[in-house]
A and B are shown apart, each in its own frame.
Chain A
Amino acid sequence: AVRPLKRRQPKQTNELPHPNKLPGIFDDIHSSHGRQVCRRHELYVSFRDLGWLDWVIAPQGYSAYYCEGECTFPLDSCMNATNHAILQSLVHLMKPDAVPKACCAPTKLSATSVLYYDSSNNVILRKHRNMVVKACGCH
């Protein structure tokens, strides 16, 4: 009887994959360990939902993006997009060969501004540069 060929299991390694081989969004979304690959999701931050609209003058809310899934980034934690964008880029800059560019490193960041009253009824306009991921490496 002919024995069916055994499928060779991929060899388990602990190395970080070379960044160019990170799974993209159109690849098989389950990486070899059955983990869901990191994907970008949109979150609409609504001041109205939080009931803060009586002190936030503008905007009513804004779109933010966040990642969910397993990032191969050694921190291995799921962060919101803004943190992800800033922190990951910094660590990659500091240790380029130890820390690869993560799959959803931002390719375009934009500023966001919020106008609100403070506790003394002064009006405050705060602008945060490079705070919102507009486009990232997931796709």
Chain B
Amino acid sequence: SSSGSRPQHSCPQRRLGARERRDMQREILAVLGLPGRPRLRALPAAARLPASAPLFMLDLYHAMAGDDDEDAGSPGRRLGRADLVMSFVNMVERDHALGHHEPHWKEFRFDLTQIPAGEAVTAAEFRIYKVPSTQIFNTTLHISVFEVVQEHSNRESDLFFLDLQTLRAGDEGWLVLDVTAASDRWLLSRNKDLGLRIHVETLDGHSVAPGLAGLLGRQAPRSRQPFMVTFFRASASTIRAPR
């Protein structure tokens, strides 16, 4: 199995020399799309692992590895026939909430320059964790997400509505907002960060500060920080020329 446990030897194995093995492994990993070893910013591995995005992606990895033969049914709606899934942690977070006049909002920025060219987006979602609100009780809230299409220095930014979820102020858990509709635009303007803005309103239209509604931002514990995940379907298969 590809999960790392070694199958019994079914045929005689000739030991490769160290150099041969390294070349062979490097060649196979290149075919896997791991051409080179990236230089990670010095984050110790242990510090990274508990973060929410890798945990979520590890679950996806197990789901994807589980559906080894193609028609075992799709393990998850989003996973579907995706070949590549990327998670993005947000770089910048702006709060237009406490102390500002209405409407209150929270904005997240994502650097999408790492998306490989030629990939078609099949789905994209923004995940943010919500804890029970300590300020608002027994209230139904509308949580909507917009894409920041254009910012202006002298007036409000141009926004594009993406998704809306309705829940109770006392609810807790991961909120999944569908931002697939924004993907057409971001693939066209790769060098621009993707801006997502969250608005929270009560049923009678009053704006609530997202933090007061219980939505967590970058101050949250590592395992509950917001992130975006995008599912791609590769169009071209990579065939390597024979040595």
Interface residues of A (CB under 8 A from B): 25, 39-46, 49-50, 52, 54-64, 66, 68, 75, 77, 79-80, 82-83, 86-87, 90, 110-129, 131-132, 138-139
Contacts and interface: CB of A to CB of B under 8 A. Distances in A.
B61 A68 contact: no
B185 interface: no
B239 interface: yes
A126 B83 contact: yes
A47 to B, nearest CB: 8
A61 B10 CA distance: 19
A55 B37 contact: yes
Contact of A128 (B32, B49, B54, B62): B32
A63 B7 contact: yes
A46 B6 CA distance: 11
A129 B71 CA distance: 12
A41 B13 contact: yes
Contacts of B69: 110
Nearest to B29: A45
Nearest to B49: A57
B114 interface: yes
B9 interface: yes
Contacts of B62: 58
Given A50-B25, A122-B89, A127 B243 contact: no
A41 to B, nearest CB: 6
Nearest to A55: B40
B155 interface: no
Given A59-B4, A79-B242, A114-B34, A124 B84 contact: yes
B14 interface: yes
B41 A115 contact: no
B14 A115 contact: no
B243 A119 contact: no
Contacts of A118: 38, 114
A80 B242 CA distance: 9
A123 B53 contact: yes
29 contacts: A39-B11, A42-B11, A42-B13, A49-B21, A49-B22, A50-B22, A50-B25, A54-B40, A55-B37, A57-B49, A58-B58, A63-B6, A77-B243, A79-B243, A80-B28, A83-B240, A86-B239, A113-B65, A117-B48, A118-B114, A121-B48, A123-B57, A125-B85, A127-B64, A127-B83, A127-B84, A128-B33, A129-B237, A139-B10
Contact of B61 (A45, A57, A64): A57
B183 interface: no
B4 A61 contact: yes
A25 B69 CA distance: 27
